[in-house]
Chain A
Amino acid sequence: DGGITQSPKYLFRKEGQNVTLSCEQNLNHDAMYWYRQDPGQGLRLIYYSQIVNDFQKGDIAEGYSVSREKKESFPLTVTSAQKNPTAFYLCASSSFGTKPLQPQHFGDGTRLSIL
């Protein structure tokens, strides 16, 4: 089954610890996105990347970092600077520059909690 795979499904972080969430896609999509989902706030964009080795900050990038070394992979690191990391994190991908615009495909998500 092609698509987007996020791992792990559940993740726990200790105080002062950095954790990395994995996102892999086999859809040959150029663009990838990370969202944070909190109750009542919908999806808020953390970072996105339209091509390999390039990425842009979204609305709530502080305390997070990403890399895009391969087209298929877009890992998100939640650093110790993120003071309220408990949330559900969604990864998405889409084709880029196509007409008509193609919608995003989403992963199953990772739920991050603080120990």
Chain B
Amino acid sequence: AQRVTQPEKLLSVFKGAPVELKCNYSYSGSPELFWYVQYSRQRLQLLLRHISRESIKGFTADLNKGETSFHLKKPFAQEEDSAMYYCALYLSYGQNFVFGPGTRLSVLP
């Protein structure tokens, strides 16, 4: 069955340290993957998607089909990065999305 896993429920790092939020998926088709972020008291919003190959707010994510991973990385974490992060996979056959359980990132001063 298709699914998305995010092994860390909570990740704490100090300001300026590198951060990596892990995401693994299982899917038989060609994956389309997204990272969504939910800041405190804000609605869930798109952070980035793998096909764009862009850096948003200093974050990047590379799709690794061999390892079935789509980890989110940032070289120097900032306090404003503290939020809940969700990895999501688009299911082309059902034409809907499946989300991982989320990782709460806490960037300490």
Contacts and interface: CB of A to CB of B under 8 A. Distances in A.
Interface of A: 31, 33, 35, 40-45, 48, 50, 56, 58, 90, 92, 96, 100-101, 103-104, 106-109
Interface of B: 6, 9, 32, 34, 36, 43-46, 49, 51, 86, 90, 94-102
Main secondary structure of the interface of A (DSSP, over half): strand
A41 B101 contact: yes
A109 B100 CA distance: 18
Contacts of B49: 103
Main secondary structure of the interface of B (DSSP, over half): strand
A101 B96 contact: no
B96 A45 contact: yes
Nearest to B35: A103
Contacts of B46: 103-104
B69 to A, nearest CB: 17
A40 B101 contact: yes
